[in-house]
């Protein structure tokens, strides 16, 4: 099933049940993305908008994209409820509709986990392309709490990927080596679905 169709379908459940469980990880990723005081930030794969709402403020330009129309509607409602400002656009991470170097920071949480292995490198190319030199790219990926949870999750992913939102813990490292990125910090935020937060800076 295509990601847009799947996430249109699961959006309300994701918003009510799963998204609040991600708040600790989202806050950390946002903190890292804002660490160097960017004037413009792009969030890719925003889901119901809890992360992008935290990015808004201090007059910075905040832009969010997602392939799911329903997620974009939920994110819009969440931004309004939080009195947060951001511009939202429907777009695919594999072909971002922005010029190269247009953002001082790019953040993406739990997006790489839902992409296929083949999509990961082209998506990272895009995230790095739209980032300005010296800007931060912050990637949040799934970090399941223990081996048993990991095994159960992977069994579900193989048998019925839709059940787990087509997601499994992604490892961006092999793809990062080919990018003009330097890793500043790697940390793990604990939780039922924890988050590995990788903070990098674009070197050229």
Ligand X SMILES: C[S@@+](CC[C@H](N)C(=O)[O-])C[C@H]1O[C@@H](n2cnc3c(N)ncnc32)[C@H](O)[C@@H]1O
Site residues for ligand X per CB under 6 A: 3, 7, 19, 22, 26, 45-47, 51, 65-68, 71, 92-94, 109-111, 114, 165, 167
Nearer to ligand X by C-beta: 1 or 183?
Answer: 1
Q: How far apart are CA 10 and CA 68, in angstroms?
A: 10
Q: Are strands 194-202 and 103-109 parallel, antiparallel or unpaired?
A: unpaired
Instruction: Give the DSSP H/E element, type plus range, for residue 32.
Output: helix 23-34
Yes or no: say if 131 and 137 are a contact pair by the CB < 8 Å rule: yes
Nearer to ligand X by C-beta: 5 or 178?
Answer: 5
CB of 201 to ligand X, least distance (A): 21
CB of 51 to ligand X, least distance (A): 5
CB of 81 to ligand X, least distance (A): 16
CB of 66 to ligand X, least distance (A): 5
Within the chain, strands assigned E span: 40-44, 61-66, 87-90, 103-109, 131-143, 181-189, 194-202
Q: How many helices (H) and strands (E) does the chain have?
A: 7, 7
Nearer to ligand X by C-beta: 42 or 181?
Answer: 42
Nearer to ligand X by C-beta: 19 or 105?
Answer: 19
CB of 104 to ligand X, least distance (A): 19
Coil, strand or helix at 143: strand
The sheet that has 194-202: what strands, in order across it?
A: 87-90, 61-66, 40-44, 103-109, 131-143, 194-202, 181-189
């Amino acid at each position: 099933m295509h990601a847009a169709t799947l996430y249109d379908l699961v959006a309300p459940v994701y918003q009510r049940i799963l998204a609040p469980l991600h708040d600790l990880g989202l806050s950390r990723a946002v903190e890292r993305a804002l660490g160097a005081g960017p004037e413009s930030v792009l969030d890719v794969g925003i889901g119901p908008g809890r992360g992008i709402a935290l990015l808004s403020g201090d007059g910075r330009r905040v832009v969010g994209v997602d392939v799911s129309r329903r997620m974009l509607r939920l994110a819009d409602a969440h931004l309004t409820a939080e009195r947060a400002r951001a511009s939202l656009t429907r777009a695919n991470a594999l072909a971002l509709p922005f010029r190269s170097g247009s953002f001082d920071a790019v953040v993406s949480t739990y997006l790489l986990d839902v992409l296929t292995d083949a999509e990961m490198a082209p998506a990272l190319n895009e995230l790095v392309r739209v980032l300005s030199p010296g800007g931060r790219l912050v990637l949040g990926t799934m970090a399941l709490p223990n081996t048993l949870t990991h095994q159960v999750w992977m069994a579900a992913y193989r048998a019925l990927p839709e059940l787990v939102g087509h997601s499994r813990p992604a490892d961006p490292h092999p793809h990062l080596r080919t990018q003009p990125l330097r890793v500043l910090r790697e940390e793990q935020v604990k939780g039922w679905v924890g988050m590995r937060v990788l903070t990098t800076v674009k070197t050229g």
